[in-house]
Amino acid sequence: MATHALTPTTHWGLSTEKFFYFFMGLRKGEIRKQVQMMKERHPDDDPSQLARRFVAGQAPLSFMGGALMHLPMLFPALGPPLKLAGIAMGSSVMIRLNMTLLLQIALLFGHDIDDRARLKEMATIIAASGLASGTSLLPYVFNLEPRTKAIVGGASVITVSQLIGETAIRYYSRSVTARRRVRNRRMQSEA
């Protein structure tokens, strides 16, 4: 009777895949299609330029996510439960957008989006998105009008998303540069 040794895998487990698919709305197949589409539309762009296109394309959605948190505040008669629903929906949208952006950028720089290393990076994105949720509540410190709160909240979320995108570009481009150096050294030592 043969026994199968458990071998460590570098890919996500089935439960993890299902969690991100069903609960977080993360669709890796769609992410791959979007990256491929962007590469086909802009064949002369390098990975950094393509990544910045994704960051720029996310800006209006980030604004809407940040503003969504404040939308229930425009209807004070609806009460605190609806206010909490707005915060939960806005936070959920922002987390999903930022995780998708991270995986798009990772894929552009040649990283395997099924690798477990992406889980740690996405945990960072979830934390950063949580901070972004906090910054979108900044307008309450200044006691602004409800409409102004939505605009300022949306703008703060755009800023955080842009920072996440630029940080991901720097992070993934460094690892590509490091891999090239290792490959070049190996080729020089073999020559």
Q: For residue range 107-143, what is the model confidence (pLDDT) as tens digits?
A: 999 998 888 878 888 888 777 766 655 655 565 666 7
Q: Is the pLDDT of residue 73 over 70?
A: no
Count of residues making up the chain: 191
Mean pLDDT of the 75-94 span: 68
Range of the domain at 169: 15-190
- Alpha-carbon distances, residue 22 vs 26, 42, 124, 151, 166 (angstroms): 8, 32, 20, 30, 28
Is the residue at 43 inside a domain?
A: yes
Q: Is 9 a member of any domain?
A: no
Does 47 score more than 90 pLDDT?
yes
Q: Which residue has the higher pLDDT, 150 or 121?
A: 121
Q: Domain for residue 7, yes or no?
A: no
| 22 pLDDT above the threshold of 80 | no
Does some domain include residue 115?
yes
- Residue at 8 is within a domain: no
In a domain, 6, yes or no: no
Is residue 123 situated within a structural domain? yes
Rounded to two decimals, the pTM is 0.74
- Number of domains making up the chain: 1
How much is the CA Rg of the chain, to the nearest whole Å?
20
pLDDT at 53 over 80: yes
- 24, 114, 136, 146, 173 from 19: Cα distances, Å: 7, 14, 27, 35, 28
Does some domain include residue 36?
Answer: yes
For the chain, helix (H) and strand (E) counts, in that order, are 6, 0
